[in-house]
Chain A
Amino acid sequence: MTAEMDIAAELDTCMRCGYCKSSCPTWREAGWESASPRGRAFLLGRMARASPLDRAFGLQVEVTDRFFEHFHYCTLCGMCSEVCEVSIPLHRIWEETRESLSRAGWGPLPGHAALMQSLHANRNPYGQPPAKRVEWMGDRRPPPMAEVAWFVGCSESYNQFQAAEAGMRLLDAAKVPWTTLGAEEWCCGDPHVKTGVTADLDEHARHNVDALEATGASRVVSGCPGCTLNLGQVYPRRGMGGDFEVVHLVELLARLVDEGRLAPSKRFEGRVIYHDPCELGRVGGRVYEAPRRLLDAACGKGEWLEFPQSRDLASCCGGGGAFKAVDDGAAVAIAARKLEVAIELGADTVVSACPTCRFNLNHGVQALKRRRRGGEGAGERGGPEALTAGKGGAGKADRVKLRVMDIKELLERCL
């Protein structure tokens, strides 16, 4: 898909079969047609093809607060594009529309405004000073140059640092010559893309690419699918790609395992289920086999569980698309819905390869625990939830034994 995608022509092909709507995690929370991909596609298409007759009969579509908010009521998980009967690149259209709306003066939404303020001041969305970015590393100070540059990402640096710690030990164990940008790493620009507030995006891209090239690394890795996507796809699309290969850490780790440079010495004890992050999968590079090879290495071949819908059709955890800043309750409800299926399948450990998934799925576990403590029926409705509701009673319901970890943590425990 080129940057000059003809959005109007793409939307003309929509037949409104509604596959995108029924598959959309946020529509399930909001319920209205306007908060569904089908509804948004119709509204955009109508705007693009407005005729005088539409105006005469009051059928014209105009941007309203509700319109704007509903374009952000979306995790950008890309399921809509994946199930689309006529292959409309809806995910790209949502991103571009968010950018256009922002340029036209809409927003940012209150939750997004806070993110953007911090990004402008601190170069991270967590409201933390840049110096704190390297705190998770302790005294470790990698060399300024190395073959592999590890772009740690804001989430693992400030928030999900257990995943970063595990990554460091794995890279060390495999004797990979690695470095990071340390406190000089800036946010990859993911929140800019997701909120559509892209004024600073190119500045972030320029800074990061220059710094990464200065490390002399031929390969840039990140444990964050969002960073991987931005460095590897968004920067080049904006004409700012760096002179290096960008891969997700799982791809490097899988290669290290294949080559015997990383050899787990013991099996992980537990019933693991793997959650495909959207941005590592269908929205990103469709990286499905590398994490599975790592799971085989950690748990034993095939000794772990798949969700009934996985890979291209994996359902979203609810945490992406800057959606947690829009409606955290809904984001967590989406996670809880997915976790109910994991419990139904007998899993006790949900493993992902994305710090945002880790963050939001953990919130989902807390929500399930709260809900079960509060008794059945606390969940409003919903597909898989209903499978366990009313079954087993409080005895089973009281025991939500589910933990969430990054795949790096899983692997590191098996060293």
Chain B
Amino acid sequence: MARKEVDLATRLAALVGEDRVTTDDMERTLYSQEIANLPPEVVWVFHVKPDIVVRPATTEHVSAVMRLAHAEGVPVTPRGAASLGLGGAIPSRGGIVLDMATMNTVESVDAASMSATVQAGTTWEDLAKAASLKGMRLGAYPSSAISATIGGWVSSGGVGIGSYKYGSAADQLRWLEVVLPDGRVLETGFPGVAPNASGYSLMHLFCGAEGTLGVVTRACLQLQPRSGDIVPTAYAFDRFQGLARAVLRLTRVPVVPYHIAFVDGNHLQHMQRLGEQVPDAGGGIVTVALEGHPDAMRVEDREVASAMGGEGGRRLSDGEAARAWEDRAYEFRVKRLGPGLVPGSVFVPAGRFEAAAADVYEAIRELGMAAGITGVVADRNTVDLMPYYLVDDRKLVKNLAVMSFMKRITDIAIAHGGRPVGVGMWFAQNLDRVHGQGAEVMRAVKRALDPKNLMNPGKVVEIGTGLGIAVPGTAMSAGLELLGVVKRVLPADTEPGELAGPGGTGWRELRSPGDAVEWVDGRKEGAGRDAPPPEEGPKPDRRGPGERGS
């Protein structure tokens, strides 16, 4: 530990208390990690290990730390649950990590204004529990609500459970308190009323900024009335096309279910390999949760059933639906099969869902991976497609090669008019591609608020390395392409006969023609259905405009 860091730690301890600052080596190693395994060798390029870890308890603590860091020119990386996995919560140039997770007081839950004020480290689950005790519930929350923090999800601008009805993280906000890079405390938004139409929406500037413009310290969130239980329903599909078309159909009907999620046939097979009882659904399952007034739910249920059934969806029992709903925070259980799992997340337009998924399956097949697709429907025209890839991440080359899959699905999303979700450290090279001119404006905003480039540097608007050199996005992309080539020459991860990529999903014929499927209720495929299965064989070409050149 260099003398400079020791001095700084002493000064920080004077500001926030000795028990809230550490330079312990073991602790710093832990704070160089986030969700998903980074190959240890990542330290070749990035200085991910902080020099000092600070656990602030109050906004005043955060402000004091930022002032000192600003004066001394030390980078600061804010950290929530560190469960996004894009490198946003670990340093790129060392410095201070601000662990916000114990700044987690639910300050008030107010039934009169239907809102709650919390410190940013509060988990969504803790807020949900507090709201529940007062007869209210959260609108939307991340599927990782058990660990995800308010500040973390807001900063990553996520969508999650309930987003179809209640919007993204930003839409839950009334008011935000942010400590700026120089230590000033900014309050933005309005605790009592909607924050729109009153000048620049500064609040939204911090949603999705991943802590590069300031540290979110407190928030006021709107709550919803709790009118009975959430009712989950679920539908099984024989082919993924049917599932994709049913989802599209559902987004076009004049009702708003609470939550729409799906898993594909590959995922179900993975679950089965874990010893889980899964419904017979080669094409996957759509779970639709309803919430609100019982009369409204009855109408919604009818419309959902019609949309799902219209594309060959078979309604699962209440018990199976409940199990799918209860599993909503446990989609990565299949990681046991890896033991590594690399999740991806891209947005595609609902009308391109079917075609984009076909391309993802093509990539899975080409790269010979054991992969599955899960996802949620974020709004009427946005499907959050979340392919994941099982990998033995104890092997370096395969581990790095995973990045190439991430690039592929990003390319696919963009080709279909969508975009990748999240930027962080690993995908900062996407910013210009996704935002064009907007990326330059973002950099201007960054320079205006953080002229010394100390606030979570090396993320979102720049690609930073431990050497202090910003890497051009094209170089990073080229590297990822190269890794894809490496991956293609490696043996496939797929176990023969078990998970044949697209075959397991109904894109290619899972079963030979005429090999009828036995339904649970005894009916045969196609027999007595409202509509026949839409496809008899694989479609010749489902690629959309701007398909990959290679």
B130 CB within 8 Å of chain A: yes
- B26 neighbours in A (Cβ, 8 Å): 34, 43, 61-62, 64, 66-67
Q: Are A383 and B335 in contact (CB under 8 A)?
A: no
Residue in A33, A59, A308, A383 whose beta carbon sits within 8 Å of that of B99 in the complex: A33
Rounded to whole angstroms, the CA-CA distance of A62 and B108 in the bound complex is: 43
Q: Are A9 and B43 in contact (CB under 8 A)?
A: no
- B332 neighbours in A (Cβ, 8 Å): 15, 17, 85-86
- B147 neighbours in A (Cβ, 8 Å): 17-19, 21-22
- Write out, one digit per residue, whether chain B residues 50-68 have a CB within 8 A of any chain A CB (1) or not (0): 0001010100000000000
CB distance from A311 to the nearest CB of B (A): 14
CB-contacts of A12-64 with B (<8 A): 12-13, 15-19, 21-23, 28, 31-34, 39, 42-43, 46, 49, 51, 53-54, 57-59, 61-62, 64
A387 CB within 8 Å of chain B: yes
CB distance from A396 to the nearest CB of B (A): 16
A to B contact number (C-beta, < 8 Å): 141
Q: Are A18 and B83 in contact (CB under 8 A)?
A: yes
CB distance from A390 to the nearest CB of B (A): 7
Residue in A49, A64, A67, A380 whose beta carbon sits within 8 Å of that of B394 in the complex: A49
Rounded to whole angstroms, the CA-CA distance of A87 and B274 in the bound complex is: 11
B330 CB within 8 Å of chain A: yes
- Write out, one digit per residue, whether chain B residues 65-87 have a CB within 8 A of any chain A CB (1) or not (0): 00000000000000001110000
- Write out, one digit per residue, whether chain B residues 1-36 have a CB within 8 A of any chain A CB (1) or not (0): 000000000000000000010101111011101111
Given A15-B341, A33-B27, A308-B132, answer yes or no on A386-B146 (Cβ-Cβ < 8 Å): no
Q: Are B34 and A22 in contact (CB under 8 A)?
A: no
A384 CB within 8 Å of chain B: yes
Interface-forming stretch among B121-129, B236-244, B517-525?
A: B121-129
Rounded to whole angstroms, the CA-CA distance of A83 and B123 in the bound complex is: 15
Q: Are B132 and A16 in contact (CB under 8 A)?
A: no
CB distance from A410 to the nearest CB of B (A): 25
Q: Are B125 and A31 in contact (CB under 8 A)?
A: no
Rounded to whole angstroms, the CA-CA distance of A43 and B101 in the bound complex is: 19
Q: Which of A17, A34, A58, A83 has the most CB of B within 10 A?
A: A17
B306 CB within 8 Å of chain A: no
Given A12-B394, A57-B43, A67-B26, answer yes or no on A22-B81 (Cβ-Cβ < 8 Å): yes
Q: Are A387 and B29 in contact (CB under 8 A)?
A: no
B115 CB within 8 Å of chain A: no
- A33 neighbours in B (Cβ, 8 Å): 27, 30-31, 53, 99
Rounded to whole angstroms, the CA-CA distance of A123 and B26 in the bound complex is: 38
CB distance from B257 to the nearest CB of A (A): 25
Chain B contact surface mostly: mixed
A382 CB within 8 Å of chain B: yes
Rounded to whole angstroms, the CA-CA distance of A308 and B102 in the bound complex is: 22
Q: Are B40 and A53 in contact (CB under 8 A)?
A: yes
Rounded to whole angstroms, the CA-CA distance of A341 and B132 in the bound complex is: 12
Rounded to whole angstroms, the CA-CA distance of A16 and B339 in the bound complex is: 13
Rounded to whole angstroms, the CA-CA distance of A23 and B109 in the bound complex is: 21
Q: Which of B106, B129, B133, B147 has the most CB of A within 10 A?
A: B147
A200 CB within 8 Å of chain B: no
A344 CB within 8 Å of chain B: yes
Q: Are A28 and B102 in contact (CB under 8 A)?
A: yes
Q: Are A381 and B146 in contact (CB under 8 A)?
A: no
CB distance from A274 to the nearest CB of B (A): 18
Q: Are A16 and B335 in contact (CB under 8 A)?
A: no
Rounded to whole angstroms, the CA-CA distance of A59 and B146 in the bound complex is: 29
B279 CB within 8 Å of chain A: no
B229 CB within 8 Å of chain A: no
Q: 29 interchain pairs (CB within 8 A)?
A: A12-B340, A15-B35, A18-B81, A22-B123, A28-B102, A31-B55, A33-B53, A34-B27, A39-B30, A42-B33, A43-B26, A43-B29, A53-B41, A57-B41, A59-B49, A66-B24, A85-B330, A86-B333, A87-B336, A308-B132, A308-B133, A341-B133, A345-B133, A381-B102, A381-B105, A382-B105, A383-B105, A383-B106, A386-B106
| Chain A interface (Cβ < 8 Å from any Cβ of B) | 9, 12-13, 15-19, 21-23, 28, 31-34, 39, 42-43, 46, 49, 51, 53-54, 57-59, 61-62, 64, 66-67, 83, 85-87, 308-309, 341, 344-345, 380-384, 386-387, 390
Q: List the 5 shortest-distance A-B pairs measured between CB atoms, nearest first.
A: A18-B147, A12-B339, A31-B102, A33-B30, A13-B339
